[in-house]
Structure 1
Amino acid sequence: MMLPPTSADMYDRFGDDLRVCAPLFRDFGGRTAFAGAAVTVKCFEDNSRIKEALDEPGHGRVLVADCGSSLRCAMLGDMIAERAVEQGWAGVIIDGCVRDVLRLAELDLGIKAIAPTPRKSTRRGEGQRDIPVQIGGVPIHPGDAVLCDRDGILIASPTLLPALLGQAPTSDLAGR
């Protein structure tokens, strides 16, 4: 698998055409650099929509979950993350907590979250999918380009996805 360009290099190249999430997120997955098109979920202390999304084929996309920055329960654990790997997701960004961190670190999946906690969430079937969300002070729409690495999280319009994936340059921004 080819790694995407670094977020620092992409920021140098595209500057203000990129949105930079606040540096609140830590790496928990075995993959620390990942990129893909955003699939969005908005939920609070109920991971039903996260599980539902990650049960579907990922096609190299990134699930972005606006969990209201709650630190009271984990929204992703080892079983759901293992399913995400099986389904071909590139990564998951959780604006909240995860659990089973030793196992998450072994998985070929990018996982960014705020913190770990052993407490699991409840499932009441609540939450929304495929709507605009906000994490780290940045708005994210379904289909936006997402690039994550140890330097942080970048969000861009879908037209920049090929560049963020390290494919041939697109648009007239390539010469910047």
Structure 2
Amino acid sequence: DQLVEFLSNTAVFTATLAGIGVAVIIWWFSRSDKVLEEYEVGALYVYPIKSCKGVPVKSRPIYERGFKSDRQWMVVTEEEGAFMTQRQKPKMALIQPSLPNDDSQELVLNAPGMPEIRVPIVKVDRRSQMDVYIWGDRVEAVDQGDAAAAWLTAFLSTPEEPLRLVRVLE
């Protein structure tokens, strides 16, 4: 009787151990980091202004909403605050922004046939704050000034359809 009970307990223990072993093996090979080992990042770009050219970077701090300065600015219509993309304004692809550094606190914009413009980053205040719309969702933003607006309107639009450059608030 004791021998039968011992063998029965041993069989149950062995089967349980085998089941756990199989589960561990399945878990080990299904881990997401194992899959990621097959990929390699060849280049990293940050897009300071939505729908404009990207800026190559070697590394970039990552925050909850993504890379630092990535898609932090956008072009919107002055009247409605609706954001613009390359679908509406294909020439946005020609605008080359630079990343602001901690010393300058300005965004530099270049485009073919346009003078370079240095846009000081406007801090949050009630006069410059405005609501803008991304795919119908309301977002708070800070208008980056009349000089940037005039530059964008001259390059992308007409005086009848003025545009603004805004910085999206986190």
TM-score normalized by structure 1?
A: 0.21
Larger radius of gyration: 2
Larger helix percent: 2
Higher relative contact order (CA 8 A, sep 6+): 1
TM-score normalized by structure 2?
A: 0.21
Larger strand percent: 1
